[in-house]
Structures are given as structure tokens and as C-alpha cells.
Amino acid sequence: MIDLFSGLDAWVLVSLLLALTFVLAFEFINGFHDTANAVATVIYTKAMPPHLAVFFSGVFNFLGVLLGGVGVAYAIVHLLPVELLINVNTGHGLAMVFSLLAAAITWNLGTWYFGIPASSSHTLIGSILGVGLANALINDIPLGDGVNWHKAIDIAMSLVVSPMAGFAVAALVLIGLKWWRPLSKMHKTPDQRRKLDDKKHPPFWNRMVLVVSAMGVSFVHGSNDGQKGIGLIMLVLIGIVPAKFVLDLNSTTYQIERTRDATLHMSQFYQRNAATLGEFLALGKAKASDLPEQFSCNPQQTEPTIAALQASLQGVTDYHSLSADKRVEVRRYLLCLDDTAKKVGKLPGLEAREKADLEKLRKDLTATTEYAPFWVIVAVALALGLGTMVGWKRVVLTVGEKIGKQGMTYAQGMSAQITAACAIGMANVFALPVSTTHVLSSGVAGTMVANKSGLQGGTVKTILLAWVLTLPASMGLAAGLFWLASKAIG
């Protein structure tokens, strides 16, 4: 990590430290903003004392980040179009990072202050989309090319479908519990348990399930939301000090050979499917010398790009041996080939087996560009874990008492938490960012409907309003800030 600071101009160093502080502040805020959702039911039902619940939630958030990988991180990064990612420079990178972070932090703090369970995921994604669209307007790029819309649609579907699934599945789980044990004490609220049984805590097994599922939600929240922070830090590092982070400088000789072999096999793949892909890729019509000086990603330049990449990696066993400019160049080639492969994978006419082969080649191709240094993962894990340990009170009451017209029963808490843990865990498997806030809140709402408790219209409207407004509000904030920053840079 010490190498990160060597040879940097003073203003670049200050900008880098400030940007990293902003990202870690976002993750800290994310911790106390979203933790209430992970521990709300376990605190409300008195399955755990608040200080213990929040402490262990922080620990499991930390572990979730540490063990979660980087799939979701790069799903976030690749919301930005590949042209913006390959042509970023220090000034542009600073404007991009500070704009989206300032917008995300502003909205998160505002909704937390008013106790509204808004989504940090929506906020971050809206901010990234805002920067991409503003960049398109500033540089006269068609809006359709300002954002990676394929990735945006995939993420939007996960953000929309996951709360609906949370609502339905949690309701079904509760109905199943009521059918299985209709007279069980798990169907009492904490107030009923205290008045009727003179007991403060839930029955033993209910308490165990509540505690375990709450820690499960904390773990998967750390994995999903922590990766968003990892993706943001990688945007910061690549944007401000590209020479040191565009490629994983710790890549082994084997990993570099694997990348080089992937380009060769990708070329063979395209030749093998020339009848289907020949026109789209202009196979046999372009040469390496045809690559323009101002490099841009164009599927019809695929063959020259493969040739140029193979030439750049010829005999390379350690990325340190490449000059700073050469590393940036290699990353551009890799990102463009990956982007083209994604587009090819969506074309009609390719067999399912061929698409699966192409997906494997893409993973090999990006093995040394889609990474995160260990110190980045630890820093985000600490920020999220520590943030988890403060600020939880404002949202717990909303989730526990203000969604339904009656207090939450133990069975409702278990149903909502088990559903949330499973839904977010599945999203992690498929590298899709989802909102812990919305999955859990909708799960609680689903159990209230299934329990015939009814919903409090005011609270539900507030949550829905935050859900609807978060994306456009954060997009507008980030776009406006990016436009101002771009004008200031010149």
C-alpha cells in the first residue's frame, strides 16, 4: 500500500486521500443507515439487547465484506459505459468520483435523519447513472451511449423484483408457520408476551432463529453493500492513479498467460463462428494498423484489438515490466474485448454452448482487471462494520411498529429476516446489487398483510415515496455536481 503514495504530485495525493475518505465515509454512513434494517426485528422482538445486536451485526457485516468477492463491485463499476472507463484521466476521474459520492452521501444522510428506510443501493446506482448521463450531455454523446444500459436494466430488474419477491415470500413463510403451529407462542408480539406470559424474551427456539437470521442478513448485507464500496474505491484508484491500478500488478505469470491465452482462444472462437459474427465484427476486413490514435471501442475493430493486445503482452511475465502508458493501453484493449464479447453473447444465432464458452473466455480475459487489493477490502469492511455500530435507533421503530397497524410478532420477524437473508444471498451469487432496506421492509409489510394486521398508510407511502424518488433525486444531484465540476476543470 505504501507504493500507492510514491511519486505522486502533492495535489494528486491530497485529492486521492480526500476521495478515499469520501468513499469510506459513504460506507460508514451506509453501515448505520442500513444496519437498522438488519437488526430491527431482533431488537424490536427483544431477542438480543440493542448493544449486542448492533455489535455482532457490525462483526458479520465486516466478515461479509471480507469474504464476499468482487462480482457485485464490478457490476456497479460497469454501469458506466466502457468509453468513459477507458478514457478517464486524473481530473475527469476526480470530478466523476466526487460528484457521485457527494450526491449519494447527501441523500443517505437526509433520509437517515428523517428515519426513512431509503436504499443506499438505489442512491449509489442513481448517482453513477447521473454522472454517466451528464458526461454524455457535456461531450455530445448520444444519451443511449451515456450509460451501460444492458447492465443498468439487469440491475434495475433486481432492484424492482427483489422487494416484490420479499413481500410475497415472507407472507408465504408466515402463512406456512401459522398453518404448521397455529397456537404457538411465536405468533405473539413482544407486548403480548410480556403481558400474558410475563416473559421479556421470545421462546428459546424463536429467539435462536431470530438471532441467526439477523446475523445472516448482516453477513449478506456486508457482502452485497460492501462490494459497492469496493467498486467505488477501484473507480477512485483507477481514475486518479491509473498507472498503479489499471491492472493487478500482483498478477502471477500464470494469470498473465491465462489472459494472453484467452485472447488467442477468443480469436479462434470468432473465426469458428464467422458465418454468424463475420459482419458484426468485420472479420478479415481490418488490420492492427487500422486502430485509431484516439482509441475507442468498436466491435468492427475486434481483430486489430486482439492483435495489438497479443503484441503488448508478448513475452510479458510481470506487469511491473510494462510502462505506465502501456498498462493503461492493455487495460483499454481488455475492457473493449470484454465489452464486445458481452454484445456478441446477446446476438441471436449463437448456440447455448458457444455462449457458455464465450462467458468462460470473458472471465479469463478480465482476471487481471477485475480485482481489488486486500487493503481496499479490509478498509471497506472496517468502515461498514464500524458504521453499523452507531445510528441504528431512528429506523428500528419504523420497521418494528410503523409499517403495520399492530406490533410485529416473533413469527413475522423470523419470516422477514429469513426471506431477506436468502434473497440477498441469491443476489450475491449472481453478482447483482440489491437493496437490503427494501427487501426487508417489503418482507415485513408482506407478513403484516398475511397476518391481517393491516398496513399504516402514512409509513408505507413515505417508504414508497423514498423508493420512487431516490433514483431520480440522486441522478439529478450527481449530474448537476458533475456538470459544475467539469466546468471548473475546464
Whole-number pLDDT of residue 439: 87
Letter for the amino acid at 197?
D
**79 pLDDT exceeds 70?**
yes
Q: Give the pLDDT confidence of 189-206 residue by residue, as tens digits.
A: 888 888 888 888 899 999
User: Percent of the chain having pLDDT more than 90?
Assistant: 29
**288 pLDDT exceeds 60?**
no
Q: Give the pLDDT confidence of 113-129 residue by residue, as tens digits.
A: 776 666 777 888 889 88
| Average confidence (pLDDT) over 419-442 | 87
Whole-number pLDDT of residue 160: 81
Whole-number pLDDT of residue 343: 87
Contacts 24+ apart (CB under 8 A), 278-282: 280/344, 280/347, 281/340, 281/344
In the three-class reduction of DSSP (H, G, I as helix; E, B as strand; rest coil), residue 282 is classed as coil
Q: Give the pLDDT band (50/70/90) at residue 2.
A: low
Q: What is the DSSP string of 364-402?
A: HHTTTTS---HHHHHHHHHHHHHHHTSS-HHHHHIIIII
Q: Give the pLDDT confidence of 137-193 residue by residue, as tens digits.
A: 887 877 777 787 877 888 888 888 888 899 999 999 999 999 998 889 998 888 888
421 close to 220: Cβ distance less than 8 angstroms: yes
In whole angstroms, give the CA distance from residue 52 to residue 54.
Answer: 5
Whole-number pLDDT of residue 63: 93
Exposure string over 147-172, b if 16+ CB within 10 A, otherwise e: bbbebbebbeebbeebbebbbbbbbe
Lowest pLDDT segment from 21-35, 37-51, 191-205, 397-411: 397-411
Whole-number pLDDT of residue 14: 85
Q: Give the pLDDT band (50/70/90) at residue 394.
A: low
Which residue is it, cell 476543470? Answer: 489
Q: Give the pLDDT band (50/70/90) at residue 287.
A: low
Whole-number pLDDT of residue 104: 86
Q: Give the pLDDT confidence of 256-286 residue by residue, as tens digits.
A: 999 999 999 999 999 998 888 888 888 877 6
Q: Give the pLDDT confidence of 347-358 residue by residue, as tens digits.
A: 888 888 988 999
Smallest CA-to-CA distance from 350 within 272, 282, 284 is with 272
Which residue is it, cell 469496493? Answer: 230
Cell of 460: 408505507
What ranges do the domains of the chain cover? 10-244+376-489, 248-365
Q: What is the DSSP string of 275-319?
A: HHHHHHHTTTS--GGGS-SS----GGGHHHHHHHHHHHHTT-S-G
Cell of 358: 464465450
Strand partners, 264: none
Which pTM was predicted?
Answer: 0.84
How much is the mean pLDDT over the chain? 84
In whole angstroms, give the CA distance from residue 153 to residue 251.
Answer: 32
Lowest pLDDT segment from 114-123, 205-214, 243-252, 437-446: 114-123
User: Percent of the chain having pLDDT more than 70?
Assistant: 89
**302 pLDDT exceeds 80?**
yes
Highest averaged pLDDT of the listed ranges 42-51, 85-94, 371-380: 371-380
Instruction: Tell me whether residue 325 is exposed, middle or buried, using C-beta atoms within 10 angstroms of its C-beta: 0 to 12, 13 to 18, 19 or more.
Output: exposed
Whole-number pLDDT of residue 317: 93
